[in-house]
Structure 1
Amino acid sequence: MGLFDSVLGAISGNQGQSAQASDPKAMLIQAALRMLTSQSATGATGATGIEGGLSGLLGKLQAAGLGDAVSSWIGNGQNQAISPAQVQQALGGGHLEQLAQATGLSESETASHLSEILPGLIDKLTPNGQIPDAGGGLAGIESMLGGFLGGNKTT
């Protein structure tokens, strides 16, 4: 889980699997990444996926009136904060409930943690303002994050 540990450390400031096991934010980051990448090659979502992956999530956030915040996360500069209520409005009950079940948190705790996590997570997933191809799935995100975090690139 080296890549996940690197992402987790970059986003939340925690390091290592011991932090992962006891940190609800670490579990939520893992569940959110899984949700963003649980798509088939045709773009259909799995039971816990967000249609369109990262682009789909960004679309949901923008449709909920969070376009300025999303732009700040993707672009260079300081990330704009969002509230737990805005997360609940953007994701709706279904995705929030799935993340809560995956982490053992309540929906309100999940929304609260996501309001803290999403700006940094999306910032790390969109280096140089580039949104990775939704069809790349986990491998595409891992490849992009590996390069961003200084990991090995395959040639």
Structure 2
Amino acid sequence: MGILDDALKQFTQGGGGNASQPLVVILQELLVGKPQQPGVRQASPQQEAEVPQSSAAPQGGAGAGGLGGLLAQLQAAGLDDAVKSWIGTGQNKPVQPEDLGDALGKRAVTQMADKAGCSQQDLLSQLAAALPGIIDKLTQDGRVPTQAEINQRIRGQ
């Protein structure tokens, strides 16, 4: 299995809550990006490699820019210290659910909670507990991986 499955297994076994399949889908959307719409052309690996990793998240909301977009969005919202701790070595700093909600935006949080079938507060609590460890595992070499690398790591390849 992939990183998400492993991390969520640890998360649920650690008493962090009951991670459900919808939460896995939400996390995949945040880390990989929104699912492609039929007929919409995806960027090639070459085009993805040309996108600067420090660019801000697209206006499409949380998840539209994959891991790089998510990290940029969190950093722009004042969570820079926490994000740097997740990418770097050492202890991962926690993030408060309400701060995460502010960073992701009310509209995006509402859509994700509806999709996951839970309250916004429950979703944010689960994301705040899971994201630091998952991002830490995805960036274990101290750098933000390319989308192709993220896809491989999430799928366990």
TM-score normalised by structure 1 residue count: 0.71
Task: Give the ranges of 4+ consecutive aligned residues of structure 1 lying more than 6 Å apart after TM superposition.
Answer: none
How many Å apart are 1:91 and its aligned residue? Answer: 0.2
Distance 1:86 1:49 in 2: 14
Would the alpha carbon gap of residues 48 and 64 (structure 1) be closer, same or farther in structure 2, given more than 3 Å must change? Answer: closer
Q: Which runs of 5+ in 1 are unaligned?
A: 16-21
Distance 1:126 1:89 in 2: 24
The answer to whether structure 1 residue 112 and structure 2 residue 121 are counterparts is: no
Distance 2:79 2:66 in 1: 17
Would the alpha carbon gap of residues 25 and 128 (structure 1) be closer, same or farther in structure 2, given more than 3 Å must change? Answer: farther
2:112 matched to which residue of 1?
99
1:116 aligns to what SS in structure 2? helix
2:152 matched to which residue of 1?
143
Q: Which runs of 5+ in 2 are unaligned?
A: 37-41, 49-57
Higher relative contact order by CA 8 Å / sep ≥ 6: 1 or 2?
A: 2
1:29 matched to which residue of 2?
24
Instruction: State the number of aligned residues.
Output: 133
Identity, in percent, stands at 37
**Where in structure 2 are the equivalents of 1:6-85 lying within 5 Å?**
7-13=4-10, 23-24=18-19, 27-37=22-32, 38=34, 40-41=42-43, 50-85=63-98
TM-score normalised by structure 2 residue count: 0.70
> RMSD of the TM alignment (CA)?
2.8
